[in-house]
Structure 1
Amino acid sequence: MHYEGPIYRPPSEADSLLIQATVGCPHNKCTFCMVYKKGPPYKVRPVSDIKADLEEARRDYGGGIRSIFFPAGNTIAMPTEDLAAICIHAHALFPHLERITVYGSSQYIHRKGLSDLIKLKQAGLTRIHVGLESGDDVVLRRIKKGTTAQEQIEAGQWVMAAGIELSEYVMIGIGGRERSREHALLTAKALNAINPDFIRIRTFLPKINTLLLHQIRSGRFQVLSPHEALRESAEIIRNLDVTSQVVSDHYTNYVDVHGKMPQDQHRMLRTIESALQMGEEMFRPVYVGTQ
């Protein structure tokens, strides 16, 4: 099997077979992301090469594989016919396969439209992980996300309508102190409109080789303290009106807040309130990440 450039996968795909379908990210402009800033440039691997890697995995691991993740950073952007072809091939090789997952930014999902998403569902794509980050258009412009709240809402709604599982990632603190409340309220509003299967919480940490780190060091962006980040998390959860599963499966978070909405909403808010009783010195410091 062949891999090029950084290979990242969501924590929930820890047990998945990783078969690289694309290299890099076609957008690669987000101010907070360091992953592909030094390359390699985005490209789609030939379908024949991806199929060969799947066949090698079948020889090495047998037919019992139950989940596959196709890196890299935005595999949903590959041509629909190509992505469908490798999904179909994977299901043919692995009869017990239950899940095929990719990363996909909203703008590339939106370009496909509902009809192509339905084709992918029929080919066997079962889950897409989307970095919503924020529902605040001001924040989205500042972090150069390349999309709008409305486009993210429509893309998410289409994924759900196609019957593909949807994980939406929310980044606590990405609006900084200046936009914290607006970011929280508008993010909850976008999530309410989408009602995804999963809402996955991440807390912003600055990373090396990013424009946002430069903005922090020049005083143009103020990182939230632990208590501020927890209050922002509570504001989002308090304003959710969804049936989603809330998950806190990441090392950046200050407290593990998880549960099923709406029945666990008050319990999650109590967890945050309890954490706010602790001194800020009890939480991890803000540091500059290197990966």
Structure 2
Amino acid sequence: MAYDELDYQGMIFRPPSEADSILLQVTVGCSHNKCTFCEMYKAKRFSIKKDEVIMADIAKAAKLYKGFRRLFLCDGDALIIPQKRLIAILDEIKKKLPWLERIGTYANHKSISMKTPEELVELREHGLSIAYMGIESGDAVTLENIKKGATPERLIEMGKKIKASGIKLSVTVLNGIGGRERSMIHAKETGRVLSEMNPDFVGALSLMLTPGTSLYKDHMDGKFPVIDANEMLQELGVMFANTNLTGGLFHANHASNYLPIRAKLPDDKDRILRLINEALAGKVKLKPEYMRAL
């Protein structure tokens, strides 16, 4: 896609499942932007783009991307846009790109809390189909350490709020983010939180330290030892074993993962646990370090 045809400020990020989507930047940066492991939006000061810029981009997208069926609202947290403005954006998208089958956005606990249940239903009725929520961990200590700004209970509450509106919920968790000391606690508690939240999709990524982040500095200073591939896989196995979804999909097939996993729960649970155990026993090869990427 010739994304330079639209107005983009800085680097643009999207979930792996939005690889074939039109990327419409409606906000710049992340409204939280404090997580210790993330550098994606550090160079940006959060702002909401002017309506005239957004509407012009929608008109351009309608001409350029007729073959695309999905659209993703960038940057880090489009859901924080005031309700009337966000409804107007969704309506303009529907008017100019009526062939779209899905519209998605990132959402964090803060932006979800700022919408009433009725407002979330209204957003769904105006075309918002899926929200991506990065919880990273279900362990209270780990969440505090990485400056996520929320407790496990708060994350569960906000995830359920999205689900209740009829908007699909995709949750991202991060293997290795608890470090070696809290690895198993992080795994079990994350499984518990996912089970209570019961999202439609779970994406499990594996931690890759990024230069420039405070977590990277902690690692270089010897304060945060990174777990190795086998420890990462053990952690994933415990997390997966403790995750019980009613029909949701659990993916660990991101480029950062050592062992690609795609499972529908509860149907595939036993099969995936066997696969993980076989990998730990050396019967299944893991992805080599040089092939991993963010």
Alignment pair present for 1:18 and 2:39: no
5+ residue gaps, structure 2, are: 1-5
Unaligned runs of 5+ in 1: none
Deviation of 1:125 (Å): 0.4
Give, in whole Å, the separation in 1 of the partners of 2:274 and 2:188: 19
Deviation at 1:260, TM superposition (A): 0.5
Secondary structure of residue in 2 paired with 1:208:
coil
- C-alpha separation between the residues in 2 aligned to 1:104 and 1:69? 12
How many equivalent pairs are there? 288
Equivalent residue of 1:70, what SS?
strand
| TM-score computed with the length of structure 2 as normaliser | 0.93
SS in 1 for 2:227: coil
Q: Deviations over 1:16-47 (max 9, x none)?
A: 1111110011111100001122x220000122
1:256-290 per-residue CA deviation (whole Å, 9 max, x = no partner) reads 1111000100111111112112299964339997x
- For residue 254 of structure 1, what is the aligned residue in structure 2? 258
1:223 aligns with 2:226: yes
Tell me the equivalent position of 1:194: 197
Cα RMSD for the two superposed structures: 1.9
Conservation of the 8 A alpha-carbon contact between 1:110 and 1:154: no
Aligned partners of 2:93 and 2:179: how far apart in 1? 42
Taking the TM superposition and a 5 Å limit, the aligned residue runs for 1:82-231 are 82-231=85-234
Whether the 8 Å contact between 1:167 and 1:196 is mirrored in structure 2 is: yes
Corresponding letter in the other structure for 1:13: E
Q: Percent identity?
A: 38
Alpha-carbon distance between aligned partners in 2 of 1:269 and 1:190, rounded to the nearest angstrom: 19
Compared with structure 1, are the counterparts of its residues 207 and 126 closer, same or farther at alpha carbon in structure 2 (3 Å cutoff)? same
Aligned counterparts of 1:287 and 1:58: Cα–Cα separation in 2: 37
In 1, are the aligned partners of 2:174 and 2:204 still within 8 Å (CA)? yes
| Partner residue in 2 for 1:72 | 75
Task: Provide Cα deviations, 1:198-224, integer angstroms capped at 9, x if missing partner.
Answer: 011100110010000111111111111
Q: Which amino acid aligns with 1:163?
A: G
Counterpart residue type for residue 258 of structure 1: R
TM-score, length of structure 1 as denominator length: 0.94
- CA distance, structure 2, for counterparts of residue 271 and residue 159 of structure 1: 32
Does 2:32 align with 1:27? yes
CA distance in 1, matches of 2:121, 2:270: 36
Mapping of residues 51-66 of structure 1, within 5 Å:
51-62=55-66, 64-66=67-69
Distance in 2 between the 1:286 and 1:208 partners?
Answer: 17
The 8 Å contact of residues 257 and 272 in structure 1, kept in 2 or not, is answered as: no
Which residue in the other structure is 1:7 paired with? 12
Q: Distance in 2 between matches of 1:286 and 1:183?
A: 26
Corresponding residue of 2:3 = none
Please tell me whether the aligned partners of residues 106 and 155 of structure 1 are also in contact (alpha carbons under 8 angstroms): yes
What is the CA–CA distance in structure 1 between the aligned matches of 2:140 and 2:82, rounded to whole Å?
28
The answer as to whether partners of 1:172 and 1:202 remain within 8 angstroms in 2 is yes
